[in-house]
Structures are given as C-alpha cells and as structure tokens.
C-alpha cells in the first residue's frame, strides 16, 4: 500500500494543491486512495473530500494520544490502496511554533510513515540542497523519503533533479509545473472552501493530469510502499437520541471524527441550515453549532428570523447545546459582517461579534474548567484550538485558556446544558461525546 506524509519546509509550498494532484492521480490509477490532514485544519480536508468523494480525517497529536491517532489512521486507511496525510506549516513546526509536538514530523514518526517533501524552488538552487540537508539532520529519524518539486518548469526540474539527488541523497520523484489556471483562491482564514469554487473539478482534473505526467510512480511506490494497516472495526450502536447539527456555508467547520464519535455513542445526527431552514429538526435532544463563516453570511442569518427565534427558545429552555467559534458568535446579540455592519443574531448570549481584522488568540491552547458543567468537570484540562478574525465583546469566563508560552485568558460560557466559546474542541478519544449524548438523552426523557 502506498502511504506517505506530504510535508514541506514551510507554509506556502503548495501542499494542498499537491495533495489534490496526488489524490486525483491515484484515483485515476485505480488505487482507491484515502486522505488525512495533520493538525486542526478544517478547510484542507474539504478539498480532499472534493477529490475523492469520501471523508477525510484529521490526525492531531495535541488533541489526541498517539494510540488514538494510530487507531483513527488504521481504521480509515485499511482497505485502501493508498493513503496521503497532508502536513501543516513546515515539517517540524508544532506546538507554539517552537516545538515539534503535533508537527508533520511528529505524525510521521508516530505512524512510522515516509515523508515526501513538497519543495517550491523559487529564488534558490544549490541552497535548496543545504536546506534539505538541514531538515534531514534536524531529527533522527527524519523519515524524509523523497522530494516533489512544485510549481517548477520542466527545464528547471531537469537542472535541479541531478544536483539535489547528488547533494542530499534524496530521490526526486518528479515535479508539478506552474498551473495558474488551477490556483485556489484564499481569504482571511486561508483557502476558500471547496464548495465555493465553481470550477474546482476542472482544476482538479488539471492537477491530476500534471501529476500523472510529472511523477515517477514506480519510484514513488518503491519509496513509500508499506504494509497496509489491519482493519479496526467501527461500531455504531442503536440510536439513543437525535442531535441537530448545523451544516451549511456559514457553519462548515466540523471534524469528521467528532461526528463519528457522537454516532458511536448513540446519536442520530440531523443536519439543518440556519441560513435557510425555519426550524430545528423535530425531537432533537441536543444542538451542535460548529464554526465556519457566519460573518460572511450575517445578513442572511439575520433575515432568517424564525430560525433565530427557534434556537433562542430551544437553548433558553435547556436544550443541550455546543457552540464553537462561529456557532458562538451566532448565539450572541449581533454580528458585524465583512464591511463592519452589525446584524441581529440569536440573542442567547450577551456579546456582540465585532470585526478585528487580524488573527485573535490563534493556535493551540489548553482549557481548564473552573466549574462542573455539561461537558467538563472542575479542574479538567481540555485541548482546544482557536482561529478567527472576529471577536466578541463578551467571551465568557467559565474556562481558563493557556498557551504553551504561558499566556492565559478567560473564555467560554458553560452550565448544565451549554458550552459556548471561541475554542474549537476535538471529541474523538475523549469523554465529551458520551457526556453530550447523555445530556441530550436526559433532556428528551424529562420532556416526555
């Protein structure tokens, strides 16, 4: 089975487009590939799903214990002919940018997978070899199996390949040429989502063709062929309760593993749209409002007054609710759109969502619960992640968030039936899904 971590020396090397190219070419070659993302990113897996038509999974060694990461990888890679794990940032960039914890290298080391480095050779030639040798010497084992030159003209590739192989000892498996017509647009949280790119399938086809022609597939198989992991069964018990899950263009940041964990604990997930639906799914015992881009759809969310009223009434009546980041902003009083115009939201929480124009409290953090609540026990530590350009005038104070560098702040609203705050939670391998499902089941039984 062809298995690899697709990494790079730094961000901006084109890992996501290279991942899409590899996955689409593997699909065309009949390998039935699967995909994973190293780290907490929501957007890159959307592109993996667009290529494959199947789920992509996050693997994160800050959120999860190594055994949980290995189980997730084995469960979802088994039965496929290839697996591509797209790295995040630079190869060794992990927790706080100053440690290798939760880096692409850490994941390659934990899963014992070879790494294929995506290198964009602009503005350097022989110096690339020096950089690559530095990457190889930085940790032992380095797991780097080969190089893929990206955004590289064929003439430059023919010059660089023999030099890089001689100077580094690393094989160059091929190149992807400059493809401006296949570029994927970005905005304030990174790439636009896959659903927003109308000609995405055309772009994927261009990338697949380039990978088919530009990669030495026999060499790649030799470098990255590994025994397939044994299958780990996944059991979904009988449904105990229904949970309403917001899912549309405004609320699209959900981890596949979190949804699976809820199903594994007996939840039936009922998807709905705060943008277009007028009411919550019937007989829902819980409500999950994930992150996304509510700020870009603030006017449309405000115009859907029946849904705002329905959610306000449900949450205030005690419906167990989880609202992360964008979902948290939606529960506030107002939310500014991209132009700074405020729009009314659900009005459950006191804060007003305001545009800041820069990343706020970005990155991994550990939450400590100050009191017992639906999801947390007093003193419990919970790994989390923040990534947003909007803020709230009232962020809550039920939790203490702390970064690895010692910075701390108060955040979150919690009680017996709610968690709401900017921090995104990752539920796989934790007691959170069981606690949420139990709260939802109790809510339904009380109402019968």
Q: How do beta strands 82-86 and 56-59 pair?
A: unpaired
Count of residues in the chain: 448
Work out the angle at residue 325's Cα, subtended by the Cα atoms of residues 324 and 330, and round it to the nearest 5 degrees: 90
- Helices 66-77 and 104-111 cross at an angle (nearest 10°) of 70
Looking at residue 192, what DSSP letter applies? Answer: P
Alpha-helical runs (H) found in 265-383? 298-303, 305-316, 326-330
Mark whether 325 is an active-site residue: yes
Beta carbons within 8 Å of 92's beta carbon, 6+ residues apart:
100, 103, 104, 105, 135, 138, 139
d(CA 7, CA 63): 20
> Which is the catalytic residue, given 152, 325, 411, 438?
325
Contact 102, 39 (CB under 8 A): yes
Beta strands in 298-442 (DSSP E): 321-324, 334-336, 342-344, 352-355, 363-369, 381-386, 390-392, 399-402, 408-411, 413-415, 418-421, 424-425
**CB-based burial label for 228 (10 Å; 0-12, 13-18, 19+):** middle
d(CA 248, CA 296): 12
Beta-bridge mates of residue 83: 3, 34
Residues with a catalytic annotation lie at 325
């Amino acid at each position: 089975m062809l298995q690899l971590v697709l990494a790079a020396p730094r961000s901006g090397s084109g890992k996501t487009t290279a991942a899409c190219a590899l996955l689409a070419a593997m699909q065309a070659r009949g390998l039935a590939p699967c995909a994973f993302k190293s780290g907490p990113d929501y957007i890159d897996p959307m592109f993996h799903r667009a290529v494959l038509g199947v789920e992509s999974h996050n693997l994160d060694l800050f959120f999860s214990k190594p055994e949980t990461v290995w189980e997730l990888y084995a469960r979802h890679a088994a039965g496929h002919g290839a697996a591509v794990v797209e790295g995040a940032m630079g190869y060794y960039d992990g927790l706080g940018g100053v440690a290798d914890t939760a880096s692409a290298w850490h994941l390659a080391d934990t899963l014992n997978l070879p790494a294929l480095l995506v290198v964009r050779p602009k503005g350097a030639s022989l110096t690339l070899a020096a950089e690559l040798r530095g990457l190889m010497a930085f940790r032992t084992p380095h797991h780097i199996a080969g190089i893929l030159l990206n955004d590289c003209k064929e003439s430059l590739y023919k010059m660089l390949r023999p030099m890089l192989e001689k100077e580094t000892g690393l094989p160059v498996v091929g190149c992807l040429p400059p493809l401006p017509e296949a570029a994927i647009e970005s905005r304030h949280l990174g790439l636009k989502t896959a659903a927003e790119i109308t000609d995405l399938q055309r772009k994927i086809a261009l990338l697949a063709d380039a990978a088919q022609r530009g990669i030495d597939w026999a060499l790649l198989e030799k470098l990255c062929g590994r025994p397939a992991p044994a299958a780990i069964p996944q059991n979904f018990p009988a449904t105990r309760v229904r949970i309403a899950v917001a899912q549309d263009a405004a609320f699209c940041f959900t981890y596949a593993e979190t949804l699976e964990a809820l199903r594994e604990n007996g939840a039936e997930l009922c998807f709905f749209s705060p943008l277009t639906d007028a009411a919550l799914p019937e007989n829902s015992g819980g409500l999950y409002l994930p992150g996304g881009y509510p700020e870009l759809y603030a006017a449309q969310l405000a115009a859907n007054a029946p849904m705002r009223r329905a959610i306000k009434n449900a949450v205030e009546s005690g419906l167990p609710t989880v609202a992360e980041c964008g979902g948290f902003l939606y529960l506030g009083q107002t939310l500014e759109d991209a132009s700074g115009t405020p729009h009314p939201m659900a009005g459950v929480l006191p804060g007003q969502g305001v545009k800041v124009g820069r990343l706020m409290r970005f990155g991994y953090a550990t939450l400590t619960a100050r009191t017992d609540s639906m999801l947390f026990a007093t003193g419990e530590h919970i790994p989390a992640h923040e990534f947003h350009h909007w803020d709230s005038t009232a962020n809550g104070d039920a939790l203490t968030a702390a970064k690895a560098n010692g910075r701390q702040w108060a955040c979150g609203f919690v009680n017996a039936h709610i968690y709401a705050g900017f921090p995104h939670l990752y539920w796989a391998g934790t007691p959170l899904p069981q606690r949420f499902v139990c709260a939802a089941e109790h809510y339904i039984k009380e109402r019968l």
